[in-house]
Amino acid sequence: MLADYHIKTTFRQRVLQSEYYFSRVAAMSVIELLFLLLIVEDKQMLESIKNHEELIAVTKI
């Protein structure tokens, strides 16, 4: 499979003795960062997300 980009994540912590858990946290953080960078470019999308967060804010703990 060919790709334009290849993103690697690393981690050093070994809390809870589970390397799998921390590798997932690193990968999810990168995905969230990429998502945030993309939505910042689209003001309408950003406003829609803000409106949605306000609607569900009362159900957040």
Domain ranges of the chain: 15-59
- At 2 the three-state DSSP class reads coil
Burial of 7 (0-12, 13-18, 19+ CB in 10 A): exposed
User: Residue 18 has what pLDDT?
Assistant: 55
User: Residue 13 has what pLDDT?
Assistant: 62
Per-residue pLDDT reduced to its tens digit, 3-60: 888 888 776 665 555 555 556 777 888 888 888 888 888 889 889 888 988 888 877 6
User: Residue 1 has what pLDDT?
Assistant: 64
